[in-house]
Amino acid sequence: MKEIKILSIGNSFSQDTMEHLAEILKSLGYEKLKLGNLYIGGCSINQHYDKIETNAKKYEYFTNDGNGWICTPETSSVDAIKSDNWDWISIQPGTGDGSRVTDPESYKNLPKLCEKVRALANENVKLAFTMTWFGEPSNEHPEMVSYNGDQLKMYGLLTEIIQNTVLPMNCVDVITPMGTAVQNARTSSLEAVCRDGYHLTFDTGRYFAGLTFVKALLGENIDNIEYSPEGVDEKAKKIAIESANNAIKTPFSITRSIY
């Protein structure tokens, strides 16, 4: 019997990534699963580290055993990590403290955060770092404004930071190339990737994020997956699978869609 337990220490971007994960995993043959998402809006690496150090009960804790999401308020990351024998724990950066995802300082506490997570978790746990993505050029989020809406410049700087700063820290087992999957999808015929200029669309956007996550962590073949969320037609499904697969093949460069 295939089973998996995945926890994300995150924010609204991890909500996007995790939303369709249970149905994706079930479609891939996982009969027993548990998903967890620790949510604080915009929570950055430095804020995640502060919360775990102080055992702050500030997260909304969403869990899913395959039958939908349940929220437990006022939960600490310490309690969530210790609550189960997680196979994977993912760390999702944000900019809620004003930090920039393109600034090395935003990642300075990542090694200490990973060390703390490993100390609290079971000895076989694997850690993932989930690469962020950027909004549309017209979006007024401070990150976009700071680069005059130059999305590709931000993407280039982010991939440099991950390759030159995060990877050399040698503190995670996998980098999940979510930002690359998003940029890949933006080269396709999809009308929209984001629902509000920044967060992913509820259907296709969240779908290809979940596919990328599963492919990166578990190495699953997603080519013939049956499940797709309501609102995702056959062409959008092909784009989602293509975007995820290409992100795994070339995680730090954009691959143009054939669709």
Residues 6+ apart with CB under 8 A from 131: 158, 162, 175, 176, 177, 178, 179, 180, 251
Q: Is 256 exposed, middle or buried (0-12, 13-18, 19+ CB in 10 A)?
A: exposed
Residues 6+ apart with CB under 8 A from 58: 40, 51, 74, 76
pLDDT computed for residue 247 by the predictor: 98
pLDDT computed for residue 53 by the predictor: 98
pLDDT computed for residue 175 by the predictor: 98
The string of DSSP letters for 70-90 reads: EEEEEE-HHHHHHTS--SEEE
DSSP type of residue 122: -
Domain positions in the chain are 2-249
Residues 6+ apart with CB under 8 A from 170: none
Q: In this structure, are strands 59-64 and 30-39 parallel, antiparallel, or unpaired?
A: antiparallel
From first to last of the 259 residues of the chain, give the pLDDT tens digit.
Answer: 899 999 999 999 999 999 999 999 999 999 999 999 999 999 999 999 999 999 999 999 999 999 999 999 999 999 999 999 999 999 999 998 888 889 999 999 999 999 999 999 999 999 999 999 998 887 787 777 778 888 899 999 999 999 999 999 999 999 999 999 999 999 999 999 999 988 999 999 999 999 999 999 999 999 999 999 999 999 999 999 999 999 999 999 999 999 9
CA torsion angle 65 96 54 122 (round to 10): 40
Is 2-249 assigned to CATH 3.40.50.1110?
A: yes
Helices 110-120/45-54 angle, 10° precision: 40
Spatial CA neighbour of 5 closest among 131, 90, 70 = 90
Measured between alpha carbons, how far is 154 from 20 in angstroms, rounded to an integer?
Answer: 27
Q: Is 136 exposed, middle or buried (0-12, 13-18, 19+ CB in 10 A)?
A: middle
pLDDT computed for residue 249 by the predictor: 98
